[in-house]
Amino acid sequence: MSQKPEHTSDTKPKDVAQSDAQGRASAAGGTTPGTEGVESCREQRSRTPEAADAQAASSAPPGKQPAQEGGGAPAAAEAHELEVAHEVQQLRAEIEAARAEAAENLDKFLRAKAETENVRRRAETEVANARKYGVERFAAELLAVKDSLELARAVELKEGDTTAVRKMHEGLDLTLKLMDDVFRKFGLVAVDPKGEKFDPEKHQAISVVESDLVAPNHVVNVVQKGYLLHDRVLRPAMVVVARTKEGATPEHSAENT
């Protein structure tokens, strides 16, 4: 039989003895086992800028800490005010642009409205003139016919004329009367200014003569009657105008006028 080794209470393994020795050394130095790594980490952290700022803040007096903690509020408020001012300025610029555009559109609208009104008035005037003067060309052609009939009627009848000639004269009178009625119906008015003052708008002077019976610048004789279509001259009257006699005094000329 093999014999078991005998151990006494005074005998300890080598490792246990070494561990006890380290524990007594640590206790003598004021540290505990395993704290050396923790202390080194703390020492490294204390060297960083953030840790230094935190340490400075914690070491500051209590009365100054709130001021340092709220130091970013004025900067944030100022930034917010600048942002609001920029937005207000941008809105004002947009409002001014909108006002300018509205004014331009209003001006365009007023111009278009005025142009439309002018076009409407011109159209109304053209329609009215077309109704009023639509027979202008036709009436101008009829004037020559009426002139010929009046010349034929101006022939004096003689005592030896036959009954047929007299009947023809009566027919001419009736025809001229009918033509006068038609002319009056469509606004054709004869202009026979014998003895009236010369009007260059309605009269056309073909000659000037001295006259004792007619005042100067008055119509002595009508060569051809004129006609008006409503208020428009269809044909001016061809007239002979009187003038002042040579050697006549201004007082005498004034009396004749």
User: What values do phi and psi take at 249, rounded to 5?
Assistant: -75, 155
Tens-place pLDDT, residues 75-113: 888 888 888 899 999 999 999 999 999 999 999 999 999
Note whether residue 11 is domain-resident: no
Domain with residue 235: its CATH number is: 2.30.22.10
Cα atoms in the Cβ-side hemisphere of radius 13 Å centred on 198: 22
156 and 199 in a single domain? The answer is: no
Determine the structural domain holding residue 231 and report its residue range. Answer: 189-257
Note whether residue 50 is domain-resident: no
Residue 75 to residue 35: CA distance in whole angstroms: 44
Residue 240 to residue 237: CA distance in whole angstroms: 10
172 and 223 in a single domain? The answer is: no
CB 241 within 8 A of CB 218: yes
Note whether residue 145 is domain-resident: yes
Note whether residue 119 is domain-resident: yes
Cα atoms in the Cβ-side hemisphere of radius 13 Å centred on 63: 0
215 and 229 in a single domain? The answer is: yes
Note whether residue 32 is domain-resident: no
Tens-place pLDDT, residues 123-157: 999 998 888 888 888 889 999 999 999 888 888 87
The domain tally of the chain equals 3
128 and 161 in a single domain? The answer is: no
Query: Which segments of the chain have a pLDDT < 50?
Result: 1-17, 19, 21, 23, 25-35, 38, 41, 45-46, 56-57, 60-70, 250, 252-254, 257
Note whether residue 218 is domain-resident: yes
CB 193 within 8 A of CB 203: yes
164 and 145 in a single domain? The answer is: yes
